Amino acid sequence: MTRVLHIALAEDWAQARTAGRYEISTRGVTLAQEGFIHCSTPAQAEGVLKTFYGDLPTEQLRLLVVDQELCAQQGTPMQWDEVPGAERPFPHFYGPIPVSAVVAVLEFTGPELPDVSGFLD
């Protein structure tokens, strides 16, 4: 079982719950625009948080824990892609993330990432 993380705006996640699928690649960019949805490992997520969401109040954010196998079962594959300047590849979903493949939605209680240890393999 592989689970990865995606930082989402709370309002984007609320819209996804209504639609049944999440289609935001990263802050302000849709899946249709980018071609995939950016995700990260726990080690990578801290940098993503600081780089792309550091100017936002954390109460506007949610940390999604996404199960790769549940996505694949519903037709959305994930692959590990090299990113210029990054030490390790990042996970990307090449299609919408079904809401049912999100196994946890964690709220931020401060400037650091919520504890995901109980949700990862």
For residue 85, what pLDDT is reported?
86
Q: What is the pLDDT of residues 26-75, one digit of tens each?
A: 999 999 999 999 999 999 999 999 999 999 999 999 999 999 999 999 99
DSSP E strands, the chain: 3-9, 21-22, 24-26, 29-30, 37-38, 61-67, 78-81, 90-93, 97-98, 102-107
Number of domains in the chain: 1
Closest CA to 38 of 88, 79, 99: 79
Which two three-digit tokens encode residue 58? Answer: 């954390």
Block residue for tokens 């709370």: 10
119 lies in some domain: no
The domain in which residue 29 lies consists of 3-110
- Domain with residue 49: its CATH number is 3.20.170.20
* 52 in any annotated domain: yes
In this predicted model, what pLDDT tens digit does every residue of 61-115 receive, in sequence order? 999 999 999 999 999 999 999 999 888 999 999 999 999 999 999 998 888 889 9
